[in-house]
Amino acid sequence: MSRLFVYLIPVFVIAVFMVMAHFERRVAHDPTHRGFFDRNGTVLGIAFIALVAFWTLFLVVLPYLYMVQESFHPKLVAAERGGPKDILTLEQYRSFFIQPTDGEVNTTHLWAFFFSLAASAAVTVLNFAICYPLAYYMAQAGSVQKVRLLMLALIVPYWVNEILRAFSLRLLLASKGLINQVLMGLGLTDAPVDFLGNNVGLYVGLSYAYLLVMMFPLYNAVESLDKNQIEAARDLGAPWWRIHKDVVIPYAKPGIASGCTMVFMLSAGSLAAPQFLGGPKTLWFTSIVYDFFFQAFNWPRGAAYAFLLLAGCIALVMLMLRVFKVSLGETIR
């Protein structure tokens, strides 16, 4: 029974929106405005609404809603679903903090959670540090030809598929890999450096995987900045770092926020790169979720964990937007 009420939520939400729209029309009445059905005719109007509603409901809203309610149920075999044991429970969420088997604090999962968020934040910062100078150069400083070449050099590597990219990076960073051989050949180290075990591979791989995701919002934001603004600041005596601090970065802030948000969300939710490139002791949170779904067939717990990850990410992003005084609307401008 409790599973059914999920299907009522969309109806409820739509009703709320309709009431809101109704009130708004009353408050801001525009006599020249023609209603949706006036403009399109009744039949076409209904068809449009039905199509959009189908799209949002079945492809966007319902799958998530199904997962939400799944996460509030116990793990049951098919025969017991809908039976007396099928109750609403917070058990799955509690299991993230307290292990259900022995009642101990679930340090493994908690650690994986915080490590994933922290590492993703680090990847985001690293990515920003790499992309900002590049984006600035491409948008404001470089000559057309060089910029085109650079753009090509940035995009072409993405034709290579992710697995190949990850494993070639592994080869490069392995203890008998090229980089270690060069380092030892030059006599910089005696023993090979354990890049993979120290998660260097993970950071490099993740940064590289989402480089363009950071690059394009940054580039777009910086590109639309009037060159004269930069020169005006310079003319008024600003050294280069002040120009960036006072003029370029404030102007590009929405783009920066949008790039950082996306890179952070994508890295925190990525699955392949951490598995291929993480050190043997590294446990990425998405791997745990993956295992619950496909190894343990514990969908409720997997769903609960996935939503915890989502909530954690959103909370952190919101906090950061707050700290840097960017409104959410600006980031998707």
- Confirm or reject binding of residue 144 to another protein (CB under 8 A): no
CB of residue 145 to another protein, shortest distance in Å: 13
CB of residue 237 to another protein, shortest distance in Å: 5
Of 201 and 254, the one with the shorter C-beta distance to another protein is 254
DSSP codes, 172-206: HHSTTSHHHHHHHHTTS-SSPP-TTTTTHHHHHHH
1-15 as b/e: b if 16+ CB within 10 A: eeeeebeeebeeeee
- Confirm or reject binding of residue 39 to another protein (CB under 8 A): no
Of 80 and 231, the one with the shorter C-beta distance to another protein is 231
- Confirm or reject binding of residue 327 to another protein (CB under 8 A): no
CB of residue 319 to another protein, shortest distance in Å: 23
- Confirm or reject binding of residue 1 to another protein (CB under 8 A): no
- Confirm or reject binding of residue 330 to another protein (CB under 8 A): no
DSSP codes, 147-164: HHHHHHHHHGGGGS-HHH
Of 30 and 235, the one with the shorter C-beta distance to another protein is 235
Distance from CA of residue 9 to its chain's centroid?
A: 26
277 close to 201: Cβ distance less than 8 angstroms:
yes
Of 159 and 241, the one with the shorter C-beta distance to another protein is 241
Of residues 192-251, which lie at the interface with another protein (CB under 8 A)?
226, 228-229, 231-239, 242, 246-247, 250-251
CB of residue 143 to another protein, shortest distance in Å: 11
Tokens, residue 90: 């917070």
Of 6 and 249, the one with the shorter C-beta distance to another protein is 249
- Confirm or reject binding of residue 80 to another protein (CB under 8 A): no
Cα distances (angstroms) measured from residue 209 to each of 102, 202, 241: 39, 10, 29
- Confirm or reject binding of residue 102 to another protein (CB under 8 A): no
CB of residue 253 to another protein, shortest distance in Å: 9
Residue for token digits 């490139």?
277
Of 119 and 139, the one with the shorter C-beta distance to another protein is 139
Q: Which of 108, 87, 113, 89 is nearest to 98 (CA)?
A: 108
Cα distances (angstroms) measured from residue 49 to each of 45, 55, 133, 169, 243: 6, 10, 46, 49, 49
- Confirm or reject binding of residue 325 to another protein (CB under 8 A): no
CB of residue 228 to another protein, shortest distance in Å: 4
Residues 131 and 248: their CA atoms lie apart, in Å, by 14
Of 170 and 253, the one with the shorter C-beta distance to another protein is 253
- Confirm or reject binding of residue 140 to another protein (CB under 8 A): no
- Confirm or reject binding of residue 142 to another protein (CB under 8 A): no
CB of residue 141 to another protein, shortest distance in Å: 13
217 close to 134: Cβ distance less than 8 angstroms:
no
CB of residue 329 to another protein, shortest distance in Å: 16
Residue for token digits 């915080």?
114
Angle, in degrees to the nearest 10, between helices 162-173 and 178-185: 20
Site residues for another protein per CB under 8 A? 226, 228-229, 231-239, 242, 246-247, 250-251
